[in-house]
Amino acid sequence: MANIKSLCVYCGSSDRGSPTHHDAALHLGGIMAKAGIRLVYGGGRIGMMGRIADAVMERGGEVIGIIPQFLEQVEVGHSGVTQLIVTDNMHDRKQKMAEMSDAFLIMPGGLGTLEETFEILTWKQLGLHQKPIIIADIDGYWHHLTELIDHMIAESYAKEENRALFQVIDSIDELLPALSAMPAFNTDVEAKWL
C-alpha cells in the first residue's frame, strides 16, 4: 500500500444523505489523514465532499480540490483546502482528478458520482489506467449498482472479468486492507472486444 499516496474520492455534494453516510465520510477523513494519504476530490465545500475534506484537514492531512470554473464562481469551491485547482470544464476536472490519484474510492452520491464511477471503470477496462477502484457500499447504498453490472454480464454486454475492475467494501475500516490486496487488472484491450 506504500504506493497509494493520493486517493480520489467520488461522492455526493448533498447534505441530505443518510447520517450513516456522513459518519462514514468523517471516519474516512480520519483514516486518510492518519495513513498520510492525500485526498483528491471535486473541490466542493458542501455535502459529503466538504465533510471528507474538512475531516482530512482537521487531522493535518493534505487536500487537493479540483473544481470547474462555473461551480467555483457560484461559491461552492472550498477555499480552505491545501490546494484548489480551477479547471475550464467538467471534462478537464475529471481528467485532472484521475491524473493526480493513485486509487479511487466511490462513496454514496448522486448522478455525478454515478457518472464518475462508470467513466473511471471504463477507463480501466480500456487499459487507460490500472489503479485500484473501491466501491464503499455503506448500508448497501451501491447494492443495485453491483446488481446492474452482474445483469450486464448475464446479458453478455459486459464480460465476466469486468467484476475484477473494482472491489466492494461494506465499511470504511476495510479501505486500507482492500487497497493493499487489490490485484492488477488485465489491460489487454484487444481481448476485451473479441
Averaged pLDDT, 57-70 = 96
Asked if pLDDT for residue 187 goes beyond 70, the answer is: no
Residue 140 makes CB contacts below 8 A (sequence gap 6+) with none
Averaged pLDDT, 127-137 = 96
pLDDT at 71: 87
Distance CA 52, CA 160 (A): 33
Contact 171, 139 (CB under 8 A): no
Could you say which DSSP state residue 128 is in? Answer: S
pLDDT at 191: 54
Averaged pLDDT, 67-79 = 85
Correct CATH for 6-181 of 3.30.70.380, 3.40.630.30, 3.40.50.450, 2.120.10.30: 3.40.50.450
Asked if pLDDT for residue 86 goes beyond 70, the answer is: yes
pLDDT at 181: 85
Higher-pLDDT residue of 75 and 115 is 115
Cell output for 41: 476530490
Could you say which DSSP state residue 100 is in? Answer: T
Averaged pLDDT, 59-77 = 90
* Strand residue runs (E) in 11-116: 38-41, 63-68, 83-87, 103-106
Element spanning 111, H or E: helix 111-125
Mean per-residue pLDDT over the chain, rounded: 91
User: So where are the chain's domains?
Assistant: 6-181
Distance CA 137, CA 40 (A): 20
Concatenate the DSSP letters of all residues of 50-80 into one string: HHHHHHHHHTT--EEEEEEHHHHHTT-B-TT
| Closest-CA residue to 78 (of 93, 67, 88, 69) | 67
Averaged pLDDT, 70-88 = 89
Distance CA 43, CA 63 (A): 9
Question: Confidence band (pLDDT; 50, 70, 90) for 121?
Answer: very high
pLDDT in tens, 87-115: 999 999 999 999 999 999 999 999 999 99
pLDDT in tens, 26-42: 999 999 999 999 999 99
167, β-bridge pairs: 134
Question: Confidence band (pLDDT; 50, 70, 90) for 76?
Answer: confident
| Closest-CA residue to 109 (of 49, 64, 151, 41) | 49
pLDDT at 87: 96
Distance CA 165, CA 107 (A): 16
pLDDT at 15: 84
Contact 80, 57 (CB under 8 A): yes
